[in-house]
Amino acid sequence: MSDDDLEQLGINVIRGLAMDAPQQANSGHPGTAMALAPLAHVLFTRVLRHDPSDPSWPDRDRFILSAGHASILLYSMLYLTGYGLTLDDLRQFRQWGSKTPGHPEVHHTAGVEVTTGPLGQGFGNGVGMGLAERWLRSRYGAEVVDHHVFVICSDGDLMEGISHEAASLAGHLGLGRLVYVYDDNHITIDGNTELAYSDDVPARFAAYGWHVERLGESANDTATLEAALRRAMAEESRPSLLVLRSHIGWPSPSFTDTAKAHGSPLGAEEIARVKEILGLPPDQSFWVPDEVLHHYRGCVPRGQQLRQDWQRRFDAWSGDKESWRAAWSGHGVDGWETKLPTFEVGAQIATRKAVKQVLDATAGHIPGLLSGAADLTENTGVLLDGGADQSAGNPAGMQVHYGIREHAMGAAMTGMALHGGVLPVGGTFFVFSDYMRPAVRLAALSEAHVVYFWTHDSVGLGEDGPTHQPIEQLASLRAMPQLRLIRPADANETAHAWRLAVDGDGPTALVLSRQNLPVLPGTAEAFDGVRRGAYVLHQHGDPPQLVLAGTGSEVHVCLAAAGLLADGADGGEPLAVRVVSFPSWELFAVQPDDYRASVLPAAVPTLAVEAGTTFGWDRYADDVVGIDHFGASAPGPTVLEQLGFTPANVAARARQLLAGGRRTGARR
């Protein structure tokens, strides 16, 4: 068999697997994988610098299947090229506990770089990876960082609004070495894209400043595909879009260019017909001849040689290896936390301003730090003193200006973190976390080490009114698994929260105030309490008759109310009152039962105080001073007073609770 014939057989084997796995699962998307088999073949065997025996090699090329519904294409390549998947794994496609879930999941399957599926997110991840590669190359040199990012995207990716934001940002930043192949197959689930889509995509991307090539009917022409990819790889100052007109489901006689081929198995009869056309045994499923497998497994020794060459360069590299190791760990250098400032009791400082002081004090000791915001750089505390702007002309800049692009910022941050070498910090107003939510969810699912500064965290922001005042966001984001949400009570708790974010893994969000808050007694020494999610900040008398539990800007109100109750200054009998600072539900929930009971004794009535919806507080409190409606436009202190966030009202509500008044529900 000639080399050309062997390669063609390999491509047809990929198409066979693309049909067989969805058929076996009775679920899946065969058509795109069938059409793009030649492209995947070219990428994995001729273009990508990758080592299947070491999928985490730092200087490997990155590949993102933004069209994650075509996951069987990626799984087939990972099996064939030796990433550890087996034919049995392909047979278990989309089944419980398998390594081949319906959409690719990072950390779950070796060789998967990012979790994709929600369309457009992988597109944004790729921009983040491209930015990370260029920034690291600028900082550490091309001897140790010198690779490309490849992305396959679809019509659906480009329809989603996030792709517009991310593409505009990539073009503005001049991110070369970013190679996107647009699978222009004209088909979505509803049918032909002409139902809803008539964009001139090449013109759109050219307007963004991308290098664009129309490859036309070249989906089966491996030489044309390789040449176009290599031309795009040579682009150092522009991202590239290669527009490939493919035919979904090709060469199925019945389902080529149909929506049926997009989202459903083809059926046994049609699969047999296609296999006859391709020269595959029509009566065999998951057929991979030895010569094909041997051909693809040649990627392993080639990749090992590339990696070993890099390792020799790295070993001889005279750069700062302590900085390198810290950057790739996503953490600070040893002892970085000793640079954290301590704030004086009684000082008045907004936590969004405190976090800037914390960031400035430690930035030089966190080598991978890239800080940015969606047009709110100074407002959200992410502005670095002396931090140069990231730009096409200054690719080593640490300050990223995302523009008014929260969607793209969130996805790019996830891409940076999963690329490695970067700890991305991104800021916006808390209410606009709604714009970031799909990306935040995927960051949580991916356990991506990112940090969000979400500021202007309550109705206390004031005059901008209900459109800008978050109400339901705390409860909504607390419902998201694997997201660490911390709402610090003052500047010292903010410093502790930053330490947890940097030293931790996965995504952390700091929810910060616009308005000044007093620095409270006891918080400077409370790192362990913040680490545990909730702790006893102050107590008048023992044993407590009442617990006041507050978060963020409401903790100082709880302290003042506790003073009224303890002294009887509100007109009632003096009470023994405990004040609990409760910065993080997520951290508290994983503490041992005895610790949680020691903070919130089950037999002691608890009143929670938080300037947000009361939803969910029944698990920790018997009643809540909260807000179950939208806010109002007025000065922040006025809004807070009118809505009951005063020591006097909290004290009155506490008396009602003790007298047997309204309860939110059974505590758990």
Sequence ranges of the chain with CATH classification 3.40.50.970: 3-305, 336-518
Sequence ranges of the chain with CATH classification 3.40.50.920: 530-658
> The pTM is what?
0.97
Please give the pLDDT value at position 1. 84
> Which CATH number applies to 336-518?
3.40.50.970
Class (C level, CATH) for 530-658: alpha beta
pLDDT(434) > 80: yes
CB atoms within 10 A of CB 290: 7
For 234-267, how does the pLDDT look when each residue is reduced to its tens digit (9 = 90+)? 999 999 999 999 999 999 999 999 999 999 999 9
Taking alpha carbons only, the member of 615, 612, 538 closest to residue 581 is 538
What is the rounded distance in angstroms from the CA atom of residue 236 to the CA atom of residue 585?
46
H or E stretch including 162?
Answer: helix 161-173
Total residue length of the chain: 668
Could you please report the per-residue DSSP string of 255-318? TTTSHHHHHS---HHHHHHHHHHHTS-TT-SS---HHHHHHHHTHHHHHHHHHHHHHHHHHH--
For 474-492, how does the pLDDT look when each residue is reduced to its tens digit (9 = 90+)? 999 999 999 999 999 999 9
- Supply 521's token pair: 């007694």
For residue 254, the SS3 value is coil
For 98-121, how does the pLDDT look when each residue is reduced to its tens digit (9 = 90+)? 999 999 999 999 999 999 999 999
Average pLDDT, the chain: 97
Q: Please report, for residues 101, 311, 332, the alpha-carbon distance to residue 111 in angstroms, rounded to integers and kept in the order given.
A: 14, 20, 27
- What is the homologous superfamily of the domain 3-305 according to CATH? Thiamin diphosphate (ThDP)-binding fold, Pyr/PP domains (3.40.50.970)
For 556-592, how does the pLDDT look when each residue is reduced to its tens digit (9 = 90+)? 999 999 999 999 999 999 999 999 999 999 999 999 9
Contact 114, 448 (CB under 8 A): no
- Degrees, nearest 5: CA angle 300-230-137: 75
For 133-160, how does the pLDDT look when each residue is reduced to its tens digit (9 = 90+)? 999 999 999 999 999 999 999 999 999 9
- Degrees, nearest 5: CA angle 394-400-403: 115
For 590-617, how does the pLDDT look when each residue is reduced to its tens digit (9 = 90+)? 999 999 999 999 999 999 999 999 999 9
pLDDT(668) > 60: no
Q: What percent of the chain has pLDDT over 90?
A: 99
Catalytic annotation, pick one of 406, 493, 586, 610: 406
For 361-413, how does the pLDDT look when each residue is reduced to its tens digit (9 = 90+)? 999 999 999 999 999 999 999 999 999 999 999 999 999 999 999 999 999 99
For 502-530, how does the pLDDT look when each residue is reduced to its tens digit (9 = 90+)? 999 999 999 999 999 999 999 999 999 99
- Dihedral, CA of residue 165, residue 30, residue 42 and residue 446, to nearest 10: 50
What is the rounded distance in angstroms from the CA atom of residue 488 to the CA atom of residue 358?
13
pLDDT band at residue 33 under the 50/70/90 scheme: very high
Active-site residue flag, 406? yes
Contact 158, 200 (CB under 8 A): no
Contact 625, 557 (CB under 8 A): no
Please give the pLDDT value at position 663. 54
* Angle in degrees, 0-180, between the axes of helices 290-297 and 71-81, rounded to the nearest 10: 90
For residue 121, the SS3 value is helix
